[in-house]
Amino acid sequence: MKILVCISKSPDTTSKISFTDNSTKFDENGVQYIVNPYDEWYALVRALEIKEANGGNVTIISVGSAGDEAVIRKALAIGADDAVRIDADPTDAYYTAMQIAEYAKSNGFDLVLTGKETINYNGSQVGGMIAEALDQPFVSVASKLAVSGSTLTLEREINGGIEVVEVNTPAVVSCAKGMAEQRIPNMRGIMAARTKPLQVVAPIAVDQMTTYVNYTMPNAKSACKMIDPTNMDQLVELLHNEAKVI
């Protein structure tokens, strides 16, 4: 099975979020970039497990600048065979998805995996967009994925529950918790990643559909009102009369 795993960089989950240039740009100062956790922990690791069980090939793809290659090498260290970097700034989800779809179209994959969302823009957009561009079925927010020949059996989250579905390859799947366990790259993997093929591909011309004009921060909370732990009637009274939420 030929699997393409889409990865994005995202700021480390403990990063302090701030903005610069009149609140129009994310302040990258001091920010450590990691592979987006959903892409790494679930999509990439499950792809590797499928390859280990059934044979095949796992290719990583990312849209980004040369500076993002450290993040791609980190993903390679976990175990993919090779990687592709589309040499462009991933300006929005549509632009990014069209670049990946173009590469996938000309290289024919049985399965394209993405994380369910990135932890910076939280859009949940790229997977579905790739699926539509490839005219393939899309299983979103999948927590289990089993492969039998050209049939995939998946569990996915639906509104208020879980659904078990079946789909034939080629298909696109976005991956969530439950699908696999995080793997820590070992020294051999890290060494091997240095020499694994990382192909750089020029982008195609695509319109940017959306623009983040600027950013704002949530209003700071006023001081927390402390309640006596033996007086829960007072808490209920405040929630009713002051906060008006019950």
Residues numbered 175 to 194 that lie near another protein (CB under 8 A) are 176-178
The nearer residue to another protein, 53 or 209, going by C-beta atoms, is 209
Under the criterion CB under 8 A, does residue 216 sit at the interface with another protein? Answer: yes
Strands 9-11 and 33-35: antiparallel
Task: Write the interaction track for another protein spanning residues 44-83; mark x where CB under 8 A is met and - where it is not.
Answer: ----------------------------------------
Under the criterion CB under 8 A, does residue 127 sit at the interface with another protein? Answer: yes
Sign of CA dihedral 129, 130, 133, 138: negative
Calculate ∠ Cα 225-227-232, nearest 5°. Answer: 135
User: What is the rounded CA–CA span in Å between residue 170 and residue 151?
Assistant: 9
Closest approach, Cβ 228 to another protein, in A, equals 8
Residues between 217 and 246 that touch another protein (CB under 8 A): 217-218, 221-222, 224-230, 232-233, 235-240, 243, 245-246
Nearest residue to 143 (alpha-carbon basis) of 175, 117, 111: 175
Task: Write the interaction track for another protein spanning residues 77-116; mark x where CB under 8 A is met and - where it is not.
Answer: ----------------xx--xx-----------------x
Task: Write the interaction track for another protein spanning residues 130-169; mark x where CB under 8 A is met and - where it is not.
Answer: -xxx--xxxxxx-x---------x--xxxxxxxxxxxx--
User: Who's near 236: CB < 8 A, 6+ residues apart?
Assistant: 246
Read off the tokens for 245: 């939420």
Please name every residue paired with 60 in a beta bridge, in sequence order, or none if there are none.
5, 83
